[in-house]
Amino acid sequence: MVLPYLEYIQRIFYVVNMTSIASLQSLPSEFMVQLSDTMIISLEGEQADSYLQGQITVNVNKLDENTARHFAHCDNKGKTWSTGYVTRHLTKLLMVTNEDAGSHSLAQLNKYGVFSKVDIIDDTQLYRAFFISLDAAKADEVNTTLSQLFSSDDLKRLLESDSSDTVSLQKIESEYGVAFFADTTSKGIIVLVDENGGKQINKLAETQAVNCYSQVVFDAIQIESVHALVQGDAVTEYVPQMINVHALNGIDFDKGCYMGQEVVARTRFLGKNKRAAYSFKLEEKVDITPGDTLEKQLGENWRIAGKVLNVASLGNETWFIAVLNNDTTTEDLHRLADNNAITCYPNSLPYSIEQQASNIVKKRR
């Protein structure tokens, strides 16, 4: 496909001044990433809240202007169309996800949105997306730039808050855009701003005020954090709990009806989920593709354990997420089915995948 000239120039602009990196351990404390695989779906209108409330796994009615949430968007069988963040910007609700999954969600939202007073639009081109490490956001030059886009008091509140023990992620907004905690193991914020705001942040990379990296670095950070994204054949393959969305506080089991709720709830309350997402790190660059099969060692034999979901290859290491049995431990040896010389152990999960108690009480006769 031939890109329109302006979009082509924009994409070229976005890849200049990028610094390569051998491993996540090599990341400086102050850095940022230009996010090129981000899709932003906006919903606006009289029934935007009620419509999205019936579509995603979190309670939109309780989503205020100071918070963002992880979410999943499912089909009527409870299988995941997309995962990501949902937040507000002025009069809009924003769903922030990856391009592949987002295109599926957008099509499904518009399929039923015609029956509601809501405008559902791919607003990706209106925003420039960045991940900025917490230390970089606090550094003088970066902080000065961000203070031109957001209230200084709001920015200070965001950077000094702690979202680690809360359901919601702290967020601020202005006419230029929004910024919220990414909830990743490498602490940082996601910033979505308009074109002018994007130019101001890009100047930080041009003047080398902060090291700037390409999307693959954020992909690796998300994999290290076990923030699973669906793409390709994995779209509509997994119930949200199979990719740990509940562990990110991305499912409100006590909310009203939404697409796939019956399956999502039954998977929980009947204890039917036996799968979970785990991250792996290989100390070399390896050719791995989402959908590749992973095998687990059992004595002298190997058996199929699951599939690779997400991959990020840096200079000297490869990160990937695989969906496996949820009783997998860090002592379970795995290998790639198509390259059995590559063996690896899963990393420890950065959170608990145990289901939390619910206010719902099941009544049986």
80, 188: one domain: yes
288 sits in the region (left: phi over 0; alpha: psi -120 to 50; else beta) called beta
106, 15: one domain: yes
34, 96: one domain: yes
286, 148: one domain: no
244 sits in the region (left: phi over 0; alpha: psi -120 to 50; else beta) called left
Tell me: pLDDT of 153 over 90: yes
Are 275 and 306 contacting, i.e. CB atoms less than 8 angstroms apart?
Answer: yes
Position 51 in a domain: yes
Compute the distance between CA of residue 134 and CA of residue 210 in angstroms, rounded to an integer.
12
State pLDDT tens for residues 244-273. 999 999 999 999 899 999 999 998 888 789
Q: What is the mean pLDDT of residues 5-31?
A: 68
Position 74 in a domain: yes
Position 112 in a domain: yes
Which among 239, 268, 243 has a CA at the least distance from the CA of 253?
A: 268
* pLDDT confidence bin for 5, thresholds 50/70/90: very low
30 vs 164, which has greater pLDDT? 30
- CATH classification at residue 303: 2.40.30.160
220, 279: one domain: no
pLDDT at 288 (0 to 100): 96
Are 140 and 134 contacting, i.e. CB atoms less than 8 angstroms apart?
Answer: no
Mean pLDDT of the chain: 91
Position 234 in a domain: no
Name 133's bridge partners: 188
For the ranges 30-39, 293-302, 350-359, which has the lowest average pLDDT? 350-359
DSSP letters spanning 171-187: EEEETTEEEEE---SS-
Please report how the helices 140-149 and 195-206 are oriented relative to each other, as an axis angle in degrees rounded to 10.
Answer: 170
214, 293: one domain: no
Instruction: Tell me the three state secondary structure of residue 157.
Output: helix
Tell me: pLDDT of 157 over 70: yes
* pLDDT confidence bin for 131, thresholds 50/70/90: very high
User: 0.85 exceeded by the pTM?
Assistant: yes
DSSP letters spanning 189-232: EEEEE-HHHHHHHHHHHHTTSSEEE-HHHHHHHHHHTT-----G
Share of the chain above pLDDT 90, in %: 85
Tell me: pLDDT of 29 over 50: yes
280 sits in the region (left: phi over 0; alpha: psi -120 to 50; else beta) called beta
Q: What is the mean pLDDT of residues 6-35?
A: 72
pLDDT at 8 (0 to 100): 41
pLDDT at 168 (0 to 100): 87
Compute the distance between CA of residue 90 and CA of residue 65 in angstroms, rounded to an integer.
8
pLDDT at 9 (0 to 100): 41
pLDDT at 167 (0 to 100): 74
Which among 94, 75, 95, 93 has a CA at the least distance from the CA of 83?
A: 95
pLDDT at 166 (0 to 100): 65
Q: Do the bridges between strand 38-44 and strand 119-122 make them parallel or antiparallel, or are there none, so unpaired?
A: antiparallel
Which domain does 152 fall in, by range? 5-224
Tell me: pLDDT of 363 over 60: no
pLDDT at 163 (0 to 100): 61
200, 301: one domain: no
279, 217: one domain: no
Q: Which of 13-27, 156-170, 226-240, 263-277 has the highest mean pLDDT?
A: 226-240
Share of the chain above pLDDT 70, in %: 91
Q: Among 224, 255, 284, which residue terminates a domain?
A: 224
pLDDT at 18 (0 to 100): 64
206, 320: one domain: no
320, 195: one domain: no
Q: Among 164, 196, 224, which residue terminates a domain?
A: 224
Give me the numbers of helices (H) and strands (E) for the chain, helices first please.
9, 17
Compute the distance between CA of residue 45 and CA of residue 51 in angstroms, rounded to an integer.
10
- Total count of domains within the chain: 2
DSSP letters spanning 12-58: HHHHTT----S-GGG--SSEEEE--SEEEEEEESTTHHHHHHTTBSS
117, 218: one domain: yes
15, 163: one domain: yes
Q: Among 166, 192, 224, which residue terminates a domain?
A: 224
- CATH classification at residue 178: 3.30.1360.120
